[in-house]
Chain A
Amino acid sequence: MSVEVWTYIIVGITFAAYIYIGYSNRVRDTKGFYVAGQGVPAVANGAAIAADWMSAASFISMAGLISFLGYDGAIYLMGWTGGYVLLALLLAPYLRKFGKYTVPDFVGDRYYSQFARVLAAVATVIVSLTYVAGQMRGVGIVFSRFLGVPINIGVLIGMVVVAIFAVLGGMKGITWTQVAQYSVLIVAYLIPAIAIGIVITGIPIPQLAFTFGDIVPKLNMAQLSHDFAVEYTQPFQTKPMLDVLAITLALMFGTAGLPHVITRFYTVPSVRAARYSAGWALLFIAILYTTAPAVATFARYNLFQTLDDAVITNITPGEKQDLYELAYSGEVKDANGDPVFEAGAPVTWATSWQETGLLAFVDKNDDGKIFFGPGTAFSPTKNFKSPNADSENETYFDRDIIVLANPEVAQLAPFVIALVAAGGLAAALSTASGLLLAMSSAVSHDIYFRVIKPSASERDRMIAGRSMILVAVILAGYFGIRPPGFVGQVVAIAFGLAAASNFPPILLGIFDKRTNARGAISGLVVGFGFTLIMVLLMKSVQIFGTSEPIIKSFYGISAEGIGTIGMLLNLIIAYTVSHLTAPPPQEIQEMVENVRLPSGAGQAAAH
C-alpha cells in the first residue's frame, strides 16, 4: 500500500476514535464541562497535560529548530520543561485546594476585585487566541504535506473534529481525548527516532545513543570539515548568554502562567493528585523532549553523510526551483586504479521533498555534487531561482523537514510515515482543544457568569459554555486560514504575557498574605502593559508590516525574553504597593491560610 493510503487509514481511525471518546464522555453540568467533574486520575491528567502542552510546533518543528540552533536549542528544551517544577512546587497544589474552575476565578476571588478578574480573563483570551490560531494552521499544514489537501480544507476538517468533541464533552471529553492523542503522538515520535538511532549508532534508545554513541563527536567533525566555524555543541553561537538566560526564564515562568495548563490542575480529585499529575506530565513530556535533541543530531549528521557522497544525476528546470535528482555514489576504480565516482542508488527522499518546497539545491560550482555548508544557499532565502553568490552553501532545507522526512531518510515502512502524520495531527488537535476551552471559559464563566450575570441558571451557563467554545473554534479557524502577523509570534506574545501577567499574582496570592488588590492590579497592569508594548515594538515588522523593527532589543534582551522583565516588574510593583497600603481583609487572609493546607484539615484550620 502507498504512503497516502496508509495515511488516510491511520488518520481516519484516529479521528474516529477522538470523536467517539468525546461523544462517550459528553457532559451535562458545568462542573463536568469546566473541570471534568474533578474526577481525573493523576496519571491520566499527566498524559492529558502532556498532550495539551506539546503542540504541532513541538512535534514537527522543535527537533529541526534544535538542529539549527545547536547548543542554544536549550532555550526551548529547558524553557518548556522547567516551568513544570514551578507549577508543581509553587502553584498547582494550592490552586487545586482553592478548587474553582479558572485562573481568573482565583485572581478575582483572592484580590476581591471584579476588575482584576476581568483583567485576568482578557489576558487569558489574548494568550490563548495567539496560541490556538497557530495550532489550526498546523493541522492544515500536516494535511497538505501528507495528503495533498489544500491547507484551508485541512483547517476546516480540524475545526469540525475539535468542535464535536469539545462542545459535547467539555473538559471531560477533551481530557480523555488528549490521553488518546498523547499515546498516538509519542508512539509516532519514538518509532522513527529509535529506528534511526539504531541505523546510525546501533543503540536502540535515542537518549543513550545521543549521550554515549559517537554521533555527536562525528557531527562536530563533519561540521568543521564543511567550513562551519565551530562545533555543533558550542554554546551561544546564535544568541548572547544574557538573551539565552532571559528567554529560558520567560519560557519557564510563561509555562507556569499559561491558563490552559493551570486549568488542568483543577480537574484532579485532590491536592496530592495535583502534585503527582505535574510529575507525570513532565515525565511524559520529557520522553519527547529528551528524544528531540537526539533526533536533531541524527538528522543533521544524516544530511551531511548523504549529501557528501551524493552525485547529481539529472536536473529538471522548474518554474519555482530546479529539481535535482541525486544518487548515492558508487565508488569504482578506473584503469589507473584511482577512485572514480559513479551514480549508485537514487536518494528518493531528496527528490520527493524538493517537490514540497522544503528542500532545494543549486550546483553553484558545477562540480556535479552538492555541498552543504554555512551561510544561505539562496538570497533571498526562499527564492530558489536566485543563488546567493556570497556563500558556497548549495543546500536549502526547511527546519520542519528534520522530523517530517526522517522516516523516509531512514527508509522506514510507509505506515510509519503515515503514523508521523497522525502524530502531528494529534499534537495540534490536543493543544487546540485545551486552548479553546480556556478561552471559552474565560468568557462564558469568568466574564458572563461571574461578572455580568451571577444569577444565570445552570442551564444558561451550559449553553453559554458550549456556544462560546463554538465561537472560539470558528475564530481560531478563521485565523488559521488567514493568519495575521501576530500568529507567528507565539513564543513572544503567549509566553511573555503569561509570565508577566498570570504568574506573579498567583504566586504572591499564595505565598504573601499581605499582597492586596491595589498591589496586584498595579503589578498586573504594568507587567502586562510593558510586555505587550515591548513585543509589539520589537516585532513590528511581522505584526504591523513596518520595514524595520521600531526597537531592536531591550538592553540586549529580545522579544522572546522580554516577558522575564515584565514578570519582575509585576512582582516588584505588586509587592511594594501592597506593603505600602492597607492589608487585605481578614477573610481573604484566612482564605490564603486555608489554601496552604491540603483538604482534610483545611476546614479545621479555618474554624
Chain B
Amino acid sequence: MSEQKEWTRANAEAYWKRNIRMITVLLIIWGLVSYVAAIFLAQPLYTIKLGQLPLSFWFAQQGSILIFVLLIFVYCWLMDRLDREYGLSE
C-alpha cells in the first residue's frame, strides 16, 4: 500500500478515461465482426472463402463467437496492466 501512487481525483479521472478508451476500441471490434462482417456485408463477403466456408457465413457461425471470447480476455489483461500502473490491483 505504501508504494501506491498517492490517490487523487485527477488520477481517478485519468484511470477512467483510459478505461473508456479501451472499452471503445474493443466494442468497435465487437461490432465489426458481428454486425458489419456477418450482417451488413453478408452478401459481399459471401464470395470470399475461408477454408470451405463463405467468409460472411464463417463470421456469422464461428468467427464472431471466437473473437468475442478473445475480446474479453484481452480486456481482462489490459485492465490488469492498468490496475497495476495505478496501484489498484486487488
Point out residues on A near B: beta carbons under 8 Å: 66, 71, 73-74, 77-78, 81-82, 84-85, 88-90, 93, 207, 210-217, 233-236, 241, 244-245, 248, 270-272, 275-276, 278-279, 282-283, 286, 289-290, 293, 593, 596-601, 604-605
A78-B38, A85-B26, A211-B50 are known contacts; what are 19 more A-B pairs with Cβ within 8 Å? A71-B57, A71-B61, A74-B60, A77-B60, A78-B60, A85-B71, A89-B23, A89-B26, A212-B52, A241-B39, A248-B39, A272-B79, A282-B72, A286-B68, A290-B65, A293-B61, A596-B16, A597-B88, A600-B89
Give the residue among B9, B27, B69 with the most A Cβ atoms within 10 A.
B69
Point out residues on B near A: beta carbons under 8 Å: 1, 4, 7, 9, 12, 15-16, 19, 23, 26-27, 30, 34-35, 38-40, 42-43, 46, 50-54, 56-58, 60-62, 64-66, 68-69, 71-73, 75-76, 79-80, 83, 86-90
Q: Which 10 A-B pairs have the closest CB atoms?
A: A74-B60, A235-B42, A279-B72, A293-B61, A211-B51, A212-B51, A88-B72, A604-B7, A270-B90, A233-B57
Interchain CB contact under 8 A, A81 and B65: yes
Q: What residues of A have a CB within 8 angstroms of the CB of B4 in the complex?
A: 600-601
Q: Which of A77, A214, A279 contacts B69 (CB 8 A)?
A: A279
Q: How far is the CA of A587 from the CA of B50 in the complex (A)?
A: 54
Interchain CB contact under 8 A, A279 and B42: no
Q: What residues of B have a CB within 8 angstroms of the CB of A289 in the complex?
A: 65
Q: Which of B35, B46, B53 contacts A245 (CB 8 A)?
A: B35
Q: How far is the CA of A74 from the CA of B35 in the complex (A)?
A: 11
Complex A-B: 21 CB contacts under 8 Å: A78-B34, A81-B68, A84-B72, A85-B30, A85-B72, A212-B51, A217-B52, A233-B53, A233-B57, A245-B35, A248-B39, A275-B75, A279-B69, A279-B73, A282-B72, A286-B66, A293-B62, A596-B12, A597-B15, A600-B1, A605-B7
Residues A598 and B76 in contact in the complex (CB < 8 Å), given A211-B58, A293-B61, A604-B7: no
Give the residue among B51, B58, B68, B88 with the most A Cβ atoms within 10 A.
B68
Q: What residues of B have a CB within 8 angstroms of the CB of A215 in the complex?
A: 52
Q: Which of A74, A82, A278 contacts B30 (CB 8 A)?
A: A82
Cβ of A268 to closest chain B Cβ, rounded Å = 11
Please report whether the interface of chain B is mostly helix, strand, loop or mixed according to DSSP: helix
Interchain CB contact under 8 A, A82 and B68: yes
A274 nearest CB neighbor, chain B only: B76
Interchain CB contact under 8 A, B7 and A601: yes
Q: How far is the CA of A217 from the CA of B49 in the complex (A)?
A: 11
Cβ of A83 to closest chain B Cβ, rounded Å = 9
Q: How far is the CA of A89 from the CA of B73 in the complex (A)?
A: 10
Q: What residues of B have a CB within 8 angstroms of the CB of A235 in the complex?
A: 42-43, 46, 56-57, 60
Residues A248 and B88 in contact in the complex (CB < 8 Å), given A88-B72, A211-B50, A212-B51: no
Cβ of B78 to closest chain A Cβ, rounded Å = 10
Interchain CB contact under 8 A, A89 and B68: no
Q: What residues of B have a CB within 8 angstroms of the CB of A207 in the complex?
A: 62
Q: How far is the CA of A88 from the CA of B40 in the complex (A)?
A: 25
Q: What residues of B have a CB within 8 angstroms of the CB of A77 in the complex?
A: 60-61, 64-65
Give the residue among A214, A236, A241, A279 with the most B Cβ atoms within 10 A.
A279
Q: How far is the CA of A283 from the CA of B76 in the complex (A)?
A: 14
Cβ of B27 to closest chain A Cβ, rounded Å = 7
Q: What residues of B have a CB within 8 angstroms of the CB of A248 in the complex?
A: 34-35, 39
Interchain CB contact under 8 A, B60 and A599: no
Q: How far is the CA of A276 from the CA of B75 in the complex (A)?
A: 9
Q: What residues of B have a CB within 8 angstroms of the CB of A275 in the complex?
A: 72, 75-76, 79
Q: Which of B52, B71, B88 contacts A601 (CB 8 A)?
A: B88
B8 nearest CB neighbor, chain A only: A605
Give the residue among B1, B39, B61, B62 with the most A Cβ atoms within 10 A.
B61
Q: What residues of B have a CB within 8 angstroms of the CB of A245 in the complex?
A: 35, 39
Q: How far is the CA of A282 from the CA of B65 in the complex (A)?
A: 9
Q: How far is the CA of A275 from the CA of B9 in the complex (A)?
A: 24
Q: What residues of B have a CB within 8 angstroms of the CB of A279 in the complex?
A: 69, 72-73, 76
Q: How far is the CA of A66 from the CA of B56 in the complex (A)?
A: 16
Give the residue among A212, A233, A270 with the most B Cβ atoms within 10 A.
A233
Residues A271 and B90 in contact in the complex (CB < 8 Å), given A211-B62, A290-B66: yes
B38 nearest CB neighbor, chain A only: A74
Q: What residues of B have a CB within 8 angstroms of the CB of A214 in the complex?
A: 52
Cβ of B73 to closest chain A Cβ, rounded Å = 5
Interchain CB contact under 8 A, A283 and B65: no
A275 nearest CB neighbor, chain B only: B76
Q: What residues of A have a CB within 8 angstroms of the CB of B56 in the complex?
A: 235
Q: Which of B27, B68, B86 contacts A282 (CB 8 A)?
A: B68
Cβ of A8 to closest chain B Cβ, rounded Å = 36
Interchain CB contact under 8 A, B83 and A272: yes
B19 nearest CB neighbor, chain A only: A596
A212 nearest CB neighbor, chain B only: B51
